[in-house]
Amino acid sequence: RTSKYLAPTTRQALAARLGLTDRQVKV
Say how far apart CA 2 and CA 5 lie, in whole Å. 5
Buried-state track 1-27, b at ≥16 Cβ within 10 A, e below 16: eeeeeeeeeeeeeebeeeeeeeeebee
Q: pLDDT for 1-27, tens place per residue?
A: 555 666 677 777 777 777 755 566 555
Three-state SS string over the chain comes to CCCCCCCHHHHHHHHHHHCCCHHHHHC
Q: Does pTM surpass 0.75?
A: no
**pLDDT at residue number 18:** 75
**pLDDT at residue number 7:** 66
Q: Are 11 and 26 in contact (CB under 8 A)?
A: yes
**pLDDT at residue number 22:** 56
Q: Which domain holds residue 14?
A: 1-27
**pLDDT at residue number 13:** 78
What's the number of domains the chain is made of?
1
